[in-house]
Amino acid sequence: MVLPVGFGLRGGTMAKATSERVMNLLIALLTTRRYLSKQELREMVAGYRESKSFDRTFERDKAALRDLGIEIATGANDPDSGEEYGYRVFRSKAELPKVSFTRDELIALGLAGHVWQSSVVAESTMWALQRLKAAGAEPDTGRLSSLAAKIPAEEPDFATVHRALFARQEVVFHYEGARRRLHPWRLVQRRGLWLVHGFDPDRNAERSFKLVRMSEARLMGPERAYEVPSEFGDIDPEPLVSAVVAVRNWPGLTAGASPVQWSCPLPEGYVAYEVSRPYQDLIVADVCVAGPEAFVLAPEGIRQATVDRLTRIAEGAR
């Protein structure tokens, strides 16, 4: 699992007070029928009036909204009057267009929203699902908890590193007795452990660190302090987990998989494939989603885990 660079209002990228202020700004810009000047917004939006660094805070909040894909229009209510330019958000530019998904696509979207167990990212994924629901897409959440793979993020410093990654901000931490600095480029999960990969300014080189070995991580310096290169080195790859799966017309499992010989006869229409994933739970989830189109042949541990998952699904449907 690789967490790419980006930015969002949710998921821990902002402190609670900041996110509330940005949300209040959005509400003010959405509900107005005219352009609002900067001074008017300072009086209207909670958190601005008392701010000693209002101009800088206002620019940062506007950038946060734009990073969310919200277009802020600027203009004057009376162009001939010479009045100060103001700001507003047209509802048509902020709302999702009408969207439609197939049944399988809705299930996939719902699964994506249920994968994360970290409170930091869970809020972000559920917020995304809520926006889709508001636009008319409704995942069948009753089927999701049993099918979804689980990606825990329980390391104490995960939230801090996650914020640093998305804000492009330096993070400082203790690691095996030494103070380290890093410009995070991405988060990677390997065999249940999270690693952060980025640029170490003290070593002038790329480095990777296991979050479980970190302590006292904190953000340092301004946001957007560095650019993430389009190409960079990789963490040494971990071996994939593989299983032999009998598949009947299910591209989600056969794509990238190799047909293999199986010693015993298979039901008509089924072919044995070697299916590989980074984690066992991903194989189990993919087979469960396939329903009657696939079943695990080997190894026994993955076969039994799949049977157990399907049993829970069946019991939950009663």
Please provide residue 298's backbone torsions phi and psi, each rounded to the nearest 5 degrees. Answer: -165, 155
Structural domains in the chain plus CATH codes: 7-94 (1.10.10), 103-147 (no CATH), 158-220 (2.30.30), 241-317 (no CATH)
| Each residue's pLDDT tens digit, 179-194 | 999 999 988 877 667 8
Please provide residue 79's backbone torsions phi and psi, each rounded to the nearest 5 degrees. Answer: -55, -25
On whether the CB atoms of residues 158 and 204 are closer than 8 A, the answer is no
pTM: 0.40
| Each residue's pLDDT tens digit, 37-89 | 998 899 888 888 877 889 999 998 998 888 777 889 988 888 776 667 899 98
- Token look-up 């794509």 returns 255
In 3D space, the residue among 284, 231, 278 whose CA is nearest the CA of residue 256 turns out to be 278
pLDDT for the residue numbered 151: 58
Averaged confidence pLDDT in the chain? 79
Dist. CA 285–CA 309, nearest whole Å: 8
Name beta bridge partners: 189: 194
pLDDT for the residue numbered 4: 37
